[in-house]
Amino acid sequence: IQYDFGMIGLGVMGSNLLLNMAGHQFAVIGFDKDVQKGQALEAASSDVSEVIKGVSTLEEMVRSLKKPRKMMMLVPAGKAVDSVIESLLPLIEQGDVVIDGGNSHYTDTLRRVTYLKPKGIHFMGMGISGGEHGARTGPSMMPGGNMEAYNQVKPILEAVAAKVDGEPCTAYMGKDAAGHYVKMVHNGIEYAMMQLISEVYDLMKRGLGLNNDELHDIFGRWNGGELQSYLIDITEDIFVQKDDQKEDNNVRLIDLILDKAGSKGTGKWTSQDAMDLPVAVPTIDTAVSFRTISGYKDERVEAAKLYKNEIKKVSLDKDTFINQLEDALYFGFIICYAQGLAMLYQASKQLGMDIPLHDVVKIWRGGCIIRSKLLNDFYKAFKENDNELPNILLDKGIADIIKSKEDSIRTVIKEAIDTNIALGGLTSALAYFDAYTTENMPTNLIQAQRDYFGAHTYQRIDMPGVFHTGWISKEEKSV
Ligand code: 6PG
């Protein structure tokens, strides 16, 4: 038998994706050096009628694939990807398609595409979102690279992807490393949304004194409304999860989890690359920074003792405030997406990736971590603007939504300042909005200062050209 698709790396993601493919009548083969992983894959496939095989040599996997071969690697980003490529090279041939489905940095993907192109190998970077459950039941997949190669794998990807209104949550994301670029930005948005949710949680927990059952109910209600999204949905569940380490208690697990956030780097990459473009993504930057601050636990404990800044209760009516929080979060979510999508717009142009933004938001509607009802509005906006939308805040429909939530986020932030609760994400979202929507920023002063101390020149509002002034200092004036 010749197999339709091969997987290199049978971790949870790789195995689950293969099981998903097999369930859609594709014959699949997976390779992992660890023999047990291949066996476990075959054992897990009893419920699928199609052929599924696990092997422990790369040669056997490659030999068993239909030509042109289609395969994916799901191995840790970094050196492992390069080493798989080197092991594959003597075994594969012109026209074969090799997909990297991990969270690789897009510059690595670009380098690999360039390296493999002269050898006739189609190397594709593809972002996959949805975690292990998503991989098994329908992830969102963001493939980029050579169009011809994409067309070879399209039927498989479309079959296994999550579906929204019958449409698959996968599409061609653009040239070269576009797939990994889009996934990187997806993760930046993911970081920012999670940061905002954590701030709203803090305001309700410490600011309003709500307990986990109340939080569970509120997030449940929110998920039934405009905020409907995967992250709000899982947050609802989290508040009622009991601790499974100790038997005797009613303590919720959430209250036992140490407040140090981990990260694997994709959020940071988004901020770093945004700075290079440059595009402003302050809410993503803040999310990365707040995870960093969270890591300095010992210092925080010491500083808390030193400053003794007690958390004060919210003084506004509880129910009204909760409704305002819902609106503030909705406003914040829009800003997170706005920043990420503006980044994709610019990066696509600068790196010549031709990223179809309407398809990006379309395939984010299902399967991925940042899926939300809101993305339907963005999809409409990009369609109406023919993809030429540098920032979704410029869309009339989105502007109407934002305007209806603006008062709430201002009230929430004003109130939060007196509680001593840190709202880095929400305040950055509002500040971004205020800066982006003002005709006149105070940056004329920055220009004057730059020219004063460094002759960096400035432009004027009343005449064209570049100017430098011999600024007169106090000392000079006094002589
Ligand atoms: C997804 C996620 C996933 C990511 C994790 C962990 O879309 O399924 O983005 O790819 O690896 O969310 O990221 P951090 O460890 O950096 O939080």
Does residue 44 have a pLDDT over 80? yes
Three-state DSSP state, 30: strand
Cα–Cα separations (whole angstroms), residue 409 to 101, 317, 396: 38, 16, 20
- Identify whether the C-beta of residue 274 lies closer than 8 Å to the C-beta of residue 281: yes
Peptide bond into 68 cis (omega under 30): yes
Cα(320) to centroid(ligand 1), Å: 34
195: Cβ below 6 Å to ligand 1?
no
Task: Give the domain range for residue 448.
Answer: 443-478
Does residue 241 have a pLDDT over 80? yes
- 202 belongs to a structural domain: yes
pLDDT band, very low/low/confident/very high, at 245 (cuts 50, 70, 90): confident
d(C-alpha 267, C-alpha 261), whole Å: 12
Q: How, if at all, do strands 163-164 and 140-144 pair?
A: unpaired
- 10 belongs to a structural domain: yes
- Concerning whether 183 is annotated as a catalytic residue, the answer is yes
Does residue 173 have a pLDDT over 80? yes
320-334 pLDDT per residue, tens: 999 999 999 999 999
Give percent of the chain above pLDDT 90: 95
48 and 166 within one domain: yes
125 and 74 within one domain: yes
Summarize the confidence of residues 222-248 as an average pLDDT: 93
Cα–Cα separations (whole angstroms), residue 326 to 12, 55, 219, 309: 35, 50, 9, 26
- Identify whether the C-beta of residue 398 lies closer than 8 Å to the C-beta of residue 206: no
Does residue 58 have a pLDDT over 80? yes
129 among the known binding-site residues?
yes
423 and 274 within one domain: yes
150 and 46 within one domain: yes
pTM: predicted TM-score of the whole model, two decimal places: 0.97
Summarize the confidence of residues 460-474 as an average pLDDT: 97
Is the four-CA dihedral 302, 303, 306, 309 of positive or negative sign?
Answer: negative
- CA dihedral of residues 213, 218, 221, 225 (deg, nearest 10): -160
Q: Which residues contact 284 (CB under 8 A, 6 or more apart)?
A: 188, 189, 191, 192, 267, 270, 271, 274, 336, 339, 340
Per-residue pLDDT at 50:
67
Per-residue pLDDT at 249:
67
Question: Atom 14 in ligand 1: which residue has the minimum CA distance?
Answer: 263
Summarize the confidence of residues 62-88 as an average pLDDT: 97
117 and 161 within one domain: yes
Summarize the confidence of residues 409-428 as an average pLDDT: 97
Q: Which residues contact 2 (CB under 8 A, 6 or more apart)?
A: 27, 64, 65, 66
- C-alpha 326: how far from chain center: 21
Lowest mean pLDDT among 53-57, 248-252, 457-461: 248-252
- 111 belongs to a structural domain: yes
Of the three residues 116, 147, 172, the one that is the final residue of a domain is 172
317 and 411 within one domain: yes
Does residue 426 have a pLDDT over 90? yes
370: domain CATH number? 1.10.1040.10
- Identify whether the C-beta of residue 135 lies closer than 8 Å to the C-beta of residue 199: no
460 among the known binding-site residues?
no
138 and 27 within one domain: yes
- Identify whether the C-beta of residue 148 lies closer than 8 Å to the C-beta of residue 168: no
Cα(100) to centroid(ligand 1), Å: 16
Does residue 385 have a pLDDT over 90? no
pLDDT band, very low/low/confident/very high, at 94 (cuts 50, 70, 90): very high
Does residue 248 have a pLDDT over 80? no
15-32 pLDDT per residue, tens: 999 999 999 999 999 999
Per-residue pLDDT at 388:
87
Q: Which two tokens stand for residue 294?
A: 């969270």
CB-based burial label for 89 (10 Å; 0-12, 13-18, 19+): middle
Per-residue pLDDT at 74:
97
- Identify whether the C-beta of residue 358 lies closer than 8 Å to the C-beta of residue 375: no
- 276 belongs to a structural domain: yes
Three-state DSSP state, 55: strand
d(C-alpha 48, C-alpha 303), whole Å: 56
Of the three residues 172, 206, 226, the one that is the final residue of a domain is 172
- 84 belongs to a structural domain: yes
Of the three residues 172, 193, 212, the one that is the final residue of a domain is 172
pLDDT band, very low/low/confident/very high, at 434 (cuts 50, 70, 90): very high
d(C-alpha 60, C-alpha 95), whole Å: 19
Cα(125) to centroid(ligand 1), Å: 16
184: Cβ below 6 Å to ligand 1?
no
263: Cβ below 6 Å to ligand 1?
yes
Per-residue pLDDT at 101:
98
259 and 356 within one domain: yes
Per-residue pLDDT at 415:
96
- 177 belongs to a structural domain: no
Show the DSSP H helices in 146-265 as ranges: 147-160, 178-202, 212-223, 230-238
39: domain CATH number? 3.40.50.720
Cα–Cα separations (whole angstroms), residue 287 to 243, 273, 356, 402: 27, 15, 26, 21
Stretch (H or E) spanning 377: helix 374-384
- Concerning whether 476 is annotated as a catalytic residue, the answer is no
139 and 101 within one domain: yes
CB-based burial label for 191 (10 Å; 0-12, 13-18, 19+): buried
111-140 pLDDT per residue, tens: 999 999 999 999 999 999 999 999 999 999
pLDDT band, very low/low/confident/very high, at 49 (cuts 50, 70, 90): low
Per-residue pLDDT at 335:
98
110 and 189 within one domain: no
451: domain CATH number? 1.20.5.320
165 and 63 within one domain: yes
Catalytic residue among 53, 175, 183, 405: 183
Cα–Cα separations (whole angstroms), residue 451 to 441, 471, 477: 17, 8, 18
Q: Which residues contact 192 (CB under 8 A, 6 or more apart)?
A: 281, 283, 284, 286, 287, 336, 339, 340, 425
- 404 belongs to a structural domain: yes
d(C-alpha 315, C-alpha 280), whole Å: 34
Question: Atom 17 in ligand 1: which residue has the minimum CA distance?
Answer: 263
Does residue 146 have a pLDDT over 80? yes
pLDDT band, very low/low/confident/very high, at 48 (cuts 50, 70, 90): low
258-308 pLDDT per residue, tens: 999 999 999 999 999 999 999 999 999 999 999 999 999 999 999 999 999
pLDDT band, very low/low/confident/very high, at 246 (cuts 50, 70, 90): confident
d(C-alpha 99, C-alpha 122), whole Å: 8
Q: For residue 3, give the DSSP letter.
A: B
364 and 403 within one domain: yes
Q: Which residues contact 291 (CB under 8 A, 6 or more apart)?
A: 191, 195, 261, 262, 263, 267
- 178 belongs to a structural domain: no
Does residue 184 have a pLDDT over 70? yes
Summarize the confidence of residues 81-99 as an average pLDDT: 98
Please give the tally of structural domains in the chain.
3
Summarize the confidence of residues 45-62 as an average pLDDT: 87
Per-residue pLDDT at 387:
79
294: Cβ below 6 Å to ligand 1?
no
Summarize the confidence of residues 401-411 as an average pLDDT: 98
